[in-house]
Amino acid sequence: MTEASNTVRFLHDEDYGAPFDTRTLDHQSMVFMGGRLTESLNDGWRFVIDPFDTGLRQHWYRDEAVPAAERGMPWDFQPDHGAPVELPACWNLQEPELRHYEGTVWYTRWFDYAPSVDGERVVLRIGAANYDTKVFLNGRFLGNHLGGSTPIFVELTDGLAARNRLQLCVNNTRTLDRVPMRHFDWFNYGGVHRDVALLRLPPVFIRDLFVRLAPDDAGVIEVDVTLSDRSAEILVFEIPELAVSATIALRGGAGTARIPAQPDLWSPDSPKLYDVVARCGADEVRDRIGFRQVTVDGTQVLLNGEPVFLCGICVHEDDEALGRVRTEEDARRMLATAKELGCNFLRLTHYPHHEMVAQLADEAGILLWEELPVYWAVAFDNPATLADAENQLLELIKRDRNRASVVVWSIGNENADTDARLAFKTKLAETARAHDPTRLISAACLINKGNYRLEDRLAAVIDIVAINEYYGWYEPDMDGLAQTLTAYDLDKPLFISEVGAGALTGWDGSETELFSEAYQAAVYRGQIELLRGCAALCGLSPWLLYDFRTERRQNAFQQGWNRKGLIGADKATRKAAFAVLQGFYRERGGFSGA
């Protein structure tokens, strides 16, 4: 084919995306990260927007970056010519013109490489990028990843040279097959919003390590390990403080062990963590792990066999200045503010948050609910959508299953109860249980507002029945809450996963005026009065800690923000309802503020 006919083909080919839709970067390419040194690739990127996907149509990534005089043909793209950007960043906040851009962006960066040891393997890790990420190295396509909130791993070893051009093509278009789908109540930030780093690994390395207290025996620690290669024969596993030192025999590159041990148990009052080490050949990984059991008994949630009331709050991953980029300072402030509110629990909605939050919650003693973005309408009858959701679930589980703080996997939020949805979410629950028997499964279920009853077949599948109820706000009549609570007759814990009202910080309208702080505080008071008397209630996580950006809220009070925060978008100014919930949590014995 001549260059000219080739160009015509590029112009007319509407199947241009198919060769890049491999979905090969998935949970199986993950690498265990604990204790590993990484080399940051956050700086030095160039950035070009590509709303027509010309880069994929015309194979921009093959561009040789030669001077004009040496080119035989005109060209439309020069990767090194883009605007400079330091990652992580959400492009919507980079320049005003990009505020509402949804589509494709190319990131290009060069790096030098020289192996430090013979046979070294090199893996690129991207903490998260929203939503479809295609990776190219030195003009070669290495695979794509779906999902905007879980990590991406891609091995670079075979394609590396002394000088390398790395390109990421990231697309955040809302489509009918994605998870979430097209309609959701948060801002659709685009870009690489978590760190980019290189990992240097020995020829055989520890791919996965899952360490936990046995769910059936608090005197046993269970270990599952997977190596990158079938040839490894033994792995040494140690917990020095418990005098645990075990040699685990590996078969086909994997091994398991049950090791007798008597760790001090992890809990919010005593968030004890142990240093854990695993060695195999030239590879060594480390982690800090808490040991605990979480179970249900009738309508109670038990932590280490004792009933625990979940004094929670929901939180989005959003920041006025940084969007979905999370700094450590911001994560620490969030946990400290939650403690000030009296929380022992956070619901991280509606997608996997930065892994740092669970690491810090382990230290701080805050229980966590982590969630998949199976939100509102999703293409439940599309097998490719299920595969995407399941992969996001497995990436989340593998990333965070050593975190004692994480006690709930939520498989989604407020979907209509159809047969397809029930089958889809049942499959997710089964997958979660198969890969992690040490946590509870939940999801926000639906109430029939006509007869004030929980009516959702998913309730039979999950361990904690969660409901989002907005009595006092979307349903002004609080009496509906009383009826809903009285009608609850399942022998499972009931959790209020959302409740709340909008309030513009500082607007001092009266208790009867929507969007005033007084109105919001009155809703909290009314709710608490009714919830206090509900015996099946195992906790609540009102909606929510901070105001957050969302395109679909545009009235005069909202102006692009969901104002149901107990604290404004500045993450500092407390609204009147903050103290109301704080008072209730003090009474329920969450954190006393210490």
Give the interface with ligand GCB as residue ranges (CB under 6 A): 185, 350, 413-414, 468, 498, 543, 562, 564
Query: Taking the complex as a whole, how short is the minimal distance between the CB of residue 553 and ligand GCB, in angstroms?
Result: 8
Strand 294-297 with 300-303, pairing: antiparallel
**Phi-psi sector, 244: left (phi>0), alpha (psi -120 to 50), beta:** beta
Select the residue whose beta carbon is closest to ligand GCB and give its number: 185
Side chain identity at 248, as an amino acid letter?
A: I
Residue with tokens 């006690």: 407
Query: Taking the complex as a whole, how short is the minimal distance between the CB of residue 568 and ligand GCB, in angstroms?
Result: 15
Element housing 7 (H / E): helix 3-12
Query: Taking the complex as a whole, how short is the minimal distance between the CB of residue 413 and ligand GCB, in angstroms?
Result: 5
Q: Which structure tokens are listed for 65?
A: 């970056």
Query: Taking the complex as a whole, how short is the minimal distance between the CB of residue 371 and ligand GCB, in angstroms?
Result: 10
Query: Taking the complex as a whole, how short is the minimal distance between the CB of residue 315 and ligand GCB, in angstroms?
Result: 12
Residue 212 or 350: the one with the smaller Cβ distance to ligand GCB is 350
Burial degree of 34 (CB within 10 A; 0-12, 13-18, 19+) = middle
Query: Taking the complex as a whole, how short is the minimal distance between the CB of residue 543 and ligand GCB, in angstroms?
Result: 6
Residue 29 or 130: the one with the smaller Cβ distance to ligand GCB is 130
Residue 81 or 183: the one with the smaller Cβ distance to ligand GCB is 183
CA distance 526 to 359: 35
Query: Taking the complex as a whole, how short is the minimal distance between the CB of residue 404 and ligand GCB, in angstroms?
Result: 27
Residue 107 or 543: the one with the smaller Cβ distance to ligand GCB is 543
Residue 91 or 543: the one with the smaller Cβ distance to ligand GCB is 543
CA 220 to each of CA 168, 210, 212, 436: distance values in angstroms, whole numbers, following the listed order: 44, 14, 9, 16
Taking the CA atoms of residue 125, residue 131, residue 132 and residue 133 in that order, the dihedral angle to the nearest 10 degrees is: -30
Residue 400 or 498: the one with the smaller Cβ distance to ligand GCB is 498
Residue 222 or 371: the one with the smaller Cβ distance to ligand GCB is 371
Residue 27 or 564: the one with the smaller Cβ distance to ligand GCB is 564
CA 195 to each of CA 40, 114, 127, 356, 547: distance values in angstroms, whole numbers, following the listed order: 8, 22, 5, 11, 25
Residue 110 or 376: the one with the smaller Cβ distance to ligand GCB is 376
Element housing 436 (H / E): none
Residue 237 or 519: the one with the smaller Cβ distance to ligand GCB is 519
Quickly list DSSP for 172-186.
----TTSSS-S--SS
Residue 277 or 514: the one with the smaller Cβ distance to ligand GCB is 514
Query: Taking the complex as a whole, how short is the minimal distance between the CB of residue 544 and ligand GCB, in angstroms?
Result: 8
Query: Taking the complex as a whole, how short is the minimal distance between the CB of residue 396 and ligand GCB, in angstroms?
Result: 18
CA distance 57 to 380: 30
CA distance 585 to 588: 5
Element housing 489 (H / E): none
CA distance 292 to 273: 10
Spell out the alpha helix ranges (H) of 308-382.
328-341, 355-364
Residue with tokens 């909130």: 149
Burial degree of 73 (CB within 10 A; 0-12, 13-18, 19+) = exposed
Query: Taking the complex as a whole, how short is the minimal distance between the CB of residue 500 and ligand GCB, in angstroms?
Result: 7
Determine contact, residues 380/421, Cβ cutoff 8 Å: yes
Residue 56 or 313: the one with the smaller Cβ distance to ligand GCB is 313
Q: Which structure tokens are listed for 286?
A: 């480390």
- Helices and strands per DSSP (H, E), number in the chain: 9, 34
Residue with tokens 């960066």: 109
Query: Taking the complex as a whole, how short is the minimal distance between the CB of residue 590 and ligand GCB, in angstroms?
Result: 23
Query: Taking the complex as a whole, how short is the minimal distance between the CB of residue 380 and ligand GCB, in angstroms?
Result: 17
As a 3-state breakdown, the chain gives helix, strand, coil percent values, each rounded to 5, of 25, 30, 45
Residue 45 or 543: the one with the smaller Cβ distance to ligand GCB is 543
Residue 495: name the closest of 367, 360, 357 by CA: 367
CA 282 to each of CA 114, 120, 278: distance values in angstroms, whole numbers, following the listed order: 19, 11, 11
Query: Taking the complex as a whole, how short is the minimal distance between the CB of residue 410 and ligand GCB, in angstroms?
Result: 11
DSSP 117: S
